[in-house]
Amino acid sequence: MKKIIVLFSMLSATTLASPAIAGIYTDDLSRCFVEKTTKDDRARLVRWLFTAAASNPALAGIYAKITPEQMEAANKDAGGLLMQLLTNTCVEQARKAAQYEPQWLPASMQVLFGVAGAEMFAGPEVTQSVAGIGKYLDEKKLQELVPK
């Protein structure tokens, strides 16, 4: 059962990082993003992802109450970080990707946000929270799904 919980949490995190079609220059830019962001930078992106997700009608006002001012602050912070990466930290990689590959920006952002999303689901507190679903899963019925 523990493996199912771990798999569930891994799948949740990786859905934020679904594969994007990228070329070699976008791959270089994505690698720069990942290598040059700090744990604090990724925490900023986690806050942005959370505030953005909280605007989903299925969550809005029920589980998280994000004010327009909080959303604006999160947008400003994440946008500032992204601009720092694109125009300073990873500027050479960004120039080459922009020159040769039309999907460079969404593809590289998808990788960066995917890494931040994975961190959103990392840590013992989140693992413990996610493991709570295990109380509601019937292990016997799940085992019946596995081919023998």
Residue 148: its pLDDT value, please? 84
DSSP 136: G
50 is written with which tokens?
């959370």
- Rounded to 10 degrees, the C-alpha dihedral 132/136/139/142 comes to -110
Burial of 45 (C-beta count, 10 Å sphere; 0-12/13-18/19+): buried
pLDDT tens, 80-94? 999 999 999 999 999
Q: Where in the sequence is the domain holding 51, given as residue range(s)?
A: 2-16+23-145
CA distances from 98 to 13, 68, 83, 127 (A): 28, 32, 14, 38
Residue 9: its pLDDT value, please? 39
Residue 21: its pLDDT value, please? 64
Paired strand residues for 64: 60
Residue 66: its pLDDT value, please? 87
- The structural domain count of the chain equals 1
Give the Cα separation of 82 and 108 in Å (integer). Answer: 11
* pTM for the model: 0.74
Residue 32: its pLDDT value, please? 98
Residue 59: its pLDDT value, please? 81
28 is written with which tokens?
């270089």
Residue 87: its pLDDT value, please? 97
Q: Which residues of the chain have pLDDT under 70?
A: 1-21, 60-61
